[in-house]
Amino acid sequence: MRNPDQWSSLFWLLAGLGITLGSLKYGFGTLQAPGAGFITFFAGMLLSLLAVVFFFSSLKRDEKLHKGVEILWEGPEAHKVIFVLILLVAYTLILKHLGFLISTFGLLCLLFRVKATYHLMKVILMSLLITSGAYLLFQVWLKVQLPRGILEGII
């Protein structure tokens, strides 16, 4: 096996099987009353399944086409990868201070602008819809406490 994808898929297969087997000791439960190992069992199974699919798909690929990680940094798009990484680090740093709504809206606007083909109004509308939808899902429906930041007294 010269193709690194085959080795990595075998690693993830073993990890998925380990997660699946490890979750059994926490109790599977039922669909009506899931146990502590319910989610991790299915996550491990899904990881194992995807690893098997990836392994067999890597067998079909020509090894000459496989260049490894260095292909990420080739060409004119490499600066976009670095920009996205910087944006994600900045997002984690400002999330608590500015709050979920402002931070997420700003992050999405900048991420959509990285694509650079969207009109500004479309970027703002998509960012607003996704941020609002995420807020409604997590804060309103699931009752997850999201950071309010500078909007503490308003929302």
% of the chain with per-residue pLDDT over 90: 52
The encoded tokens of residue 44 equal 């491990």
- CA atoms of 131 and 137, how far apart (whole Å): 10
pLDDT at 70 over 70: no
pLDDT digits (tens, 9 = 90+) for 105-118: 999 999 998 877 78
The least confident of 2-6, 25-29, 99-103, 117-121 is 2-6
pLDDT of residue 75: 65
pLDDT at 136 over 80: yes
